Structure 1
Amino acid sequence: MIKLKYIVSLLVVATFFTNCAKRGTITGGPKDTIAPKIIGSLPANFSTQFKGNEIKITFDELIKVKDVTKQLIISPPLKKQPIIVPQSSASKFISIKLLDTLQENTTYSFNFGQSITDNNENNPYSQFKYVFSTGNYIDSLSVVGKIKDAYKQKPDNFVSILLYDAKTFTDSTVYKETPLYVTNTLDSLQLFSLENLKEGSYQIIALKDKSGNNKFDPKSDKIGFLNEPITLPTSTAYELELFAEKPQFKAFKPTQESNNKLYLGYEGKSKNLKVTAKKRGESIPLRMTKYPQKEKDTVQLFFPKMELDSLEITVEDGSYTKSFTSKLKNLKSSDSLKIIAKTQGVLSFRDQLTLTTNTPIDKIDVSKMVLRNKDSVAVNFTAKYDEYHQEIRFDFKKEEEEKYTLELLPEAITDFYESKNDSLQFEVNTKLLADYGNLKVTLSGVKRFPIILEVLDENGEVLYSKASQKETAMLFETIEPKLYTLRVIYDDNGNGIWDTGDYLAKRQAEEIVYYAKLLDVRANWDVEQDFNLD
C-alpha cells in the first residue's frame, strides 16, 4: 500500500512538471544592468608618496578592458605606455605596470573612459579614474570649459585638451613636446574638465589629435588656442575654438591623364594660381580648368595636340614658384568635345540652364543657338562661358509651368582643339512659383561688417548665400521647400569666403554664428525669421 501511494505520488509530480514545461520556458531572470564595482586597489586610490611600478585594481566580478589605447587618458602623459592586463580576456583585476620614471612631487591620473565593462553584459564602469601622487599631497586644482568648431555646427568628439607650463612654452612646443596635463572631451559632449592640477600659469591648447601622440600635426589635426596663458586657481570657464589650418601653397608634379591633358594637384590655399608650359624652350598654350570633383585640390591642364615630348611646367601662386618636367607618353585616350546638360528635368527659377563640356571652349556662336518655349516661340537669352568650371550658362526670363528646348545647331561651339559640335537638343521644365517658398531673414546684434549670410541644407551644404556691407534684412526667393540651417560669417578680410585660422600667426578663424534651430520652408510659404547674433 505504501509503495503504491509512493508510485502514484511520483506520477502526480511528474505530470505536474511535464504540464509546467509545456506552458512556458525558463527565462534566466532579468538582464544584468549593473556596472562592476571596485572592491580594492593596491596602492589605494588617491595615495601619496607613490614609489612603486605596479598598480592592481580588484573588482567584484569578471571584467574586460577594451579599446584601452584609445580610451585611457594618462595625465601627465608618460613617454612609455604602461603594460595593462587583461585586454583580451576576462579577469577580476586590472594590472598596470609602469615602464616610465615618474616625476617627483607630481599628481598622476589614469582615466579609463568607457574601457572597463563587465564580462557578461558589457555594462561600463564609466570614467573610472585612478589617482596617486609621488609627493606628500594630491594636487586639487581644476580648469573647466567647452570646445566648439570654428566652421561646423557640431564639434568633433574626443578632442584633447592640453596644458603646458607657460614659463617654458614657445610657439614650437605644441609640435615637439608632450603637455604637462591632458584630458579628452567625451563622445558628443563639448565640455572638458582638467583636474588634479598644480597652482601656476599654463598655456592651454585644444587638439583633434588624429595620431594620438599629444603633438600638433597641421596636416591632419585641428587646433584651438587662447592668445594669453591662464592662471590657476581660477573660476573662469574657457572656450576653445578648433580649426583646421590651410597649409602654405604647394604644387605636386603633374600626372598625364590623356594625350592632351595633365592633372596638377596642390595643397594649401591658392591665391592667384598661374601655370605655364614650355617645350624645348618654346612657350606652349595651356588651358587650366577645375577638376570636376570639388573636394579635390586639383586642376586640369589641357595642352595642344602635338608630337609628344617633355613639357616644362611652371607653377606660380603669389610668392611661390616651382617648375616640373613632365615626360609625355602616347596613351590610348584623348579628350574630345562632349557637351552634356548639367541642368536636367526641372529648372528652378533661381538657377540657369547650364551645359558642361569635356574640353575647354574657344568660341560660342549664339547665332547658331535657339531657345524655344512649348509653343515653339523663340525666347531671348544670353550665354556666358565659365572656363575654369567648363560651363556654359544660359540666362533668360522663366515662366511658370513652361517647357524650354535649347537647340545647338552644328558648329555653334568650337573647342580648344578646333572640334565643333553636331546638332544637339536639351529640354528643361519649370514648375509653379507656388511650388517654392520665400525666406526673409532679419539680422540683429551684428557686431561688424562685411558679413555673409548662408542658407544650408541638413547635410551642411551651402545652397544660397548673400553678402552684405550694411544690410540686415535679406530675402531668398523661390527656394526649394525643405529644412534649412542659417549661419552668418563675419568676413573680416572682405574676400567673400570664410577663412580659417593660423596658429603661428596667432590668428583665429573668422567668426561664424549659427541659428540654433532648423527652419521649415514649405511650398507657397513666406517665412520671416529673426536671427539675433548676440
Structure 2
Amino acid sequence: MIRKFLFFSTLALLTLAQFFGLQRCATPSPPNGGPVDSVGPVLVLEESTPNFQTNFRPDRIELTFDEWVELDPQQEILISPPIELEGDNRPTLRRRTLLIPLEGVTLRDSVTYVVNIGGAIKDLNEGNPTENLRFVFATGPVLDTASVTGTVVDAFTGEPLDEIAVTLYSDLADTAVFTQNPTYFAQTDAAGTYTISNVRPGRYRVVALQRNPAARSYYADYTGVFPPLAVGFLDSLITVTDGENALEALRLSPVPISPRIVEADLEEYGVIKLTLNQAAGGVDLSASRTYRRNNFGDTLLLFYRQPGPDTLLVGRRGIEADTLIVTGEEASVDDALPLALINRTKGKVNPGEGIRLVFNRPVDSLDTARVRLYRDTLPAPVAFSYSIDSLYPAEVRLRASWSGAVPFRLEVLPGAVSDWYGIQNRDSIVADLNVDSGELYGDLVIYFTNLNPTIDYIVRLIDGNDQVVLGSRRYIDEQFEYVAEYKSLRPATYRMELIYDSNGNERYDVGDLRFGLQPETVQRFEIEPLRANWTVEKTIDL
C-alpha cells in the first residue's frame, strides 16, 4: 500500500510540474539575467506580405515579427491616402503577426499606398517600438518615389508642432479640402517635421490640420461634428517633381469661431458689458457711436460718455456674425454705481512707473488740491503730476521726484477723482508705500528702422516667462522709423514682439482657410540681458 501511495504521489507531482511548465511556455516572459533588450521588433520578410508590390490589391496585409508583439494604444496605424481602419478592418495581433484586413475596402486606381506603422508595434517584454516601419504598395504598375518634406509651426509662437496631419490634394477644386480626404498625408514628429513619401509628381494643394481627436476624416470639415482644431495652408499650389521636394514652413493657427454674444448687460450706466463665446481680444466691433473698449477674458466692456441708440455688430475681419440693438434708455445716470478704487500699486513702487490707481470707470480728471503725497515723516506734501492712461482711462498714474528708497504716504480725499459722468469718489484713499531706488532698474531703447509705412505694427515687450510686460504695448502706423523707450524695467532678459497688423484692427488675427486668409505675421527679437542702473539699446532693421 505504501509503495502504491508513493508511486501515485510521484506521478501526480510530475503531472503538475509538466502542466505548469507548459503554462510557462505558453505565456511569453522576459528571460532571467543577461543584457536588457533595447532593440524593437524586426520584420521577418519571408513570413510577411511582400513589401513594395505593384498591381497589388490585397484583402489583408500580414506582417510577422521576430518576437511577440503588442499594439501601443498611444500610437495609430495610418494609411495614406486615408483608409479608415475601423470595424472589421481594425488591425489585430495574432502572436507575432500584425493583421490589417482590407477586404471590402475600395482602393483607388494607379495609386501608391503607404501604411505608416511607425512605432505602433512594440515588443511584449521591454516595450521597445518599431522604428519608422512602413508598408508600401501600388494598385497600378508603378511605385511613386517622390517625397515632400517640411515643418509645421505655431503661427503665433513659432514653436514646432507635433502630430499635425499635413495633406496633399491632387483634386485642385476649391471645395476639395473641405469635403474629401486628401490624396496623400503624413504626420509631424516632435520637431514639427514631416515627410510625405511615395508621391506621384504633379500639382497639389497643401493643407495642415490639427485634427479633432474624435474625427475620422482628414479634411477641413468645418461644418461637421468634429471640425479641426487648427489649420495652416500654403497660398499657392506646389509642383512635385521626382526626388525630394522641400516646402516652406506651414503656419498653423486655431480655427476661428464665429463670434456670438452670449449675454449683454446694459443695466449699469456708462458701460455695456458683452459676454462672448470666446476671448474678446480677437473679436471686431462695429458701431456708429464712439466707445472706449476694454477686453477682459471673454468679456467686452464698452464705455460711453453719453447714452444713445446704436447697433453693435461683432465679427472678425469684417465679417459680421452677431448683432445687439441698443436703445440708449437701458440705464440712467441715477443707477450708476459709486466711483470706487478697484486696484492700486501695492508693496514697493517702481519709480519709473509711479503709483497706479485703477477705478471701476473711466476717469475724466483729478483735483490735485484734494490729493496729498508725503515723503517719510515730512509735514510738507511733495509735488507730483498725474496722467490718465490713453488705452485704459480707468487707470491713473501719479509720478513725483522720487529720491532714494524712502516711504511715502498717499491721501486722496473725497471728491478728488471725477469720472466721465461727473461722479466723484465718496471715500478717502489712503496708502502707505515704499519707493525703490531708481538704481535698481534699467532702461531699454528699441530703434525700428525700414518699417513699411503701408503696414501697421503692434510691438510688445515679452519677459522671461513669456508674458507681455504691462504697459509695453505700442502701435506703429504709417511710419518708416520708430523708437520704443521703456523706463525703469526690472533687470531681466526680455524679447521684443512685433506683430504685422495687416488689416489695421490693432489686434492679432488668426488665419482662415475658408477665406484664404493667412495668420498675421509675428516676429520676436532677442535682446541682451538688462542690468540694474543700465541702458540697453537695440536696433531692429526690417
Q: Give your verdict on TM over 0.5.
A: yes
Choose the corresponding residue for 1:252, options 245, 262, 284. 262
Aligned to 1:30: 35
Aligned to 1:122: 127
Matched, 1:272 2:285: yes
Q: Deviations over 1:207-248 (max 9, x none)?
A: 222345323266863322222211221654211222335455
Contact persistence 1:156–1:208 (CA under 8 A) = no
Contact persistence 2:147–2:245 (CA under 8 A) = no
Q: Deviations over 1:47-106 (max 9, x none)?
A: 2232332212111122221235x53332101255430124xxx94222212352222222
Query: For 1:254, what is the secondary structure of its paired residue?
Result: strand
Matched, 1:428 2:433: yes
Letter in 1 for 2:535: D
Query: For 1:434, what is the secondary structure of its paired residue?
Result: helix
Aligned to 2:313: 316
Query: For 1:71, what is the secondary structure of its paired residue?
Result: coil
Letter in 2 for 1:185: T
Aligned to 2:180: 177
Letter in 1 for 2:371: M
How far residue 194 of structure 1 moved from its aligned partner, in angstroms, is 1.0
Contact persistence 1:73–1:182 (CA under 8 A) = no
Matched, 1:520 2:524: no
Contact persistence 2:351–2:437 (CA under 8 A) = no
Counterpart-to-counterpart distance in 1, 2:507 and 2:401: 29
How far residue 514 of structure 1 moved from its aligned partner, in angstroms, is 2.7
Query: For 1:481, what is the secondary structure of its paired residue?
Result: coil
Alpha carbons of 1:447 and 1:262: their partners in 2 closer, same or farther (altered >3 Å)?
closer
Query: For 1:38, what is the secondary structure of its paired residue?
Result: coil
Choose the corresponding residue for 2:239, options 222, 227, 231. 231
Query: For 2:66, what is the secondary structure of its paired residue?
Result: strand
Choose the corresponding residue for 2:489, options 472, 475, 479. 479
How far residue 119 of structure 1 moved from its aligned partner, in angstroms, is 2.1
Contact persistence 2:262–2:274 (CA under 8 A) = no
Q: TM-score normalised to the size of structure 2?
A: 0.74
Matched, 1:202 2:204: yes
Alpha carbons of 1:151 and 1:421: their partners in 2 closer, same or farther (altered >3 Å)?
same
How far residue 323 of structure 1 moved from its aligned partner, in angstroms, is 4.2
Q: Deviations over 1:425-445 (max 9, x none)?
A: 123333223212233445577
Alpha carbons of 1:440 and 1:28: their partners in 2 closer, same or farther (altered >3 Å)?
farther
Letter in 2 for 1:56: E
How far residue 182 of structure 1 moved from its aligned partner, in angstroms, is 0.9
Matched, 1:501 2:508: no
26-35 vs 173-182, which moves further: 26-35
Alpha carbons of 1:337 and 1:527: their partners in 2 closer, same or farther (altered >3 Å)?
closer
Alpha carbons of 1:526 and 1:386: their partners in 2 closer, same or farther (altered >3 Å)?
closer
Q: TM-score normalised to the size of structure 1?
A: 0.75
Letter in 1 for 2:202: G
How far residue 257 of structure 1 moved from its aligned partner, in angstroms, is 11
How far residue 450 of structure 1 moved from its aligned partner, in angstroms, is 4.8
176-185 vs 465-474, which moves further: 465-474
How far residue 148 of structure 1 moved from its aligned partner, in angstroms, is 2.8
Aligned to 1:369: 371
Aligned to 1:193: 195
- Unaligned runs of 5+ residues in structure 2 are 1-30, 331-335
226-235 vs 446-455, which moves further: 446-455
Aligned to 2:384: 380
Aligned to 2:7: none
Aligned to 1:62: 68
Matched, 1:149 2:160: no
Letter in 2 for 1:424: I
Counterpart-to-counterpart distance in 1, 2:236 and 2:209: 17
Choose the corresponding residue for 1:110, options 101, 104, 115. 115
- Identical positions, percent: 25
Counterpart-to-counterpart distance in 1, 2:482 and 2:275: 41
Counterpart-to-counterpart distance in 1, 2:139 and 2:206: 24
Contact persistence 2:275–2:298 (CA under 8 A) = no
Contact persistence 2:148–2:195 (CA under 8 A) = yes
Letter in 2 for 1:429: N
Q: Deviations over 1:148-167 (max 9, x none)?
A: 3321131322221111124x
Aligned to 1:458: 464
Aligned to 2:344: 342
Q: Deviations over 1:451-501 (max 9, x none)?
A: 444331233222234455222665433222112223333344455443433
How far residue 266 of structure 1 moved from its aligned partner, in angstroms, is 4.6
How far residue 505 of structure 1 moved from its aligned partner, in angstroms, is 3.5
- Unaligned runs of 5+ residues in structure 1 are 1-25, 277-286, 303-311, 329-333
Q: Deviations over 1:294-340 (max 9, x none)?
A: 432444899xxxxxxxxx99643478463489xx9xxxxx9776524
* Coordinate RMSD, CA, aligned: 4.2
Aligned to 1:242: 252
92-101 vs 357-366, which moves further: 357-366
Matched, 1:73 2:82: no
Counterpart-to-counterpart distance in 1, 2:482 and 2:361: 42
Contact persistence 2:449–2:480 (CA under 8 A) = no
Counterpart-to-counterpart distance in 1, 2:193 and 2:497: 23
Counterpart-to-counterpart distance in 1, 2:323 and 2:312: 5
Alpha carbons of 1:466 and 1:422: their partners in 2 closer, same or farther (altered >3 Å)?
closer
Matched, 1:96 2:97: no
How far residue 512 of structure 1 moved from its aligned partner, in angstroms, is 2.5
Alpha carbons of 1:275 and 1:390: their partners in 2 closer, same or farther (altered >3 Å)?
farther
Contact persistence 1:401–1:432 (CA under 8 A) = yes
Q: How does 1:439-458 map to 2 (within 5 A)?
A: 439-441=444-446, 450-458=456-464
Matched, 1:410 2:407: no
Alpha carbons of 1:179 and 1:378: their partners in 2 closer, same or farther (altered >3 Å)?
same
Contact persistence 1:106–1:133 (CA under 8 A) = yes
Counterpart-to-counterpart distance in 2, 1:494 and 1:462: 21
Letter in 2 for 1:265: L
Letter in 1 for 2:480: K
Counterpart-to-counterpart distance in 1, 2:522 and 2:319: 30
Aligned to 1:14: none
Choose the corresponding residue for 1:85, options 68, 92, 97. 92
Contact persistence 2:151–2:160 (CA under 8 A) = no
Matched, 1:215 2:196: no
Contact persistence 1:266–1:297 (CA under 8 A) = no
How far residue 262 of structure 1 moved from its aligned partner, in angstroms, is 6.2
Contact persistence 2:303–2:362 (CA under 8 A) = no
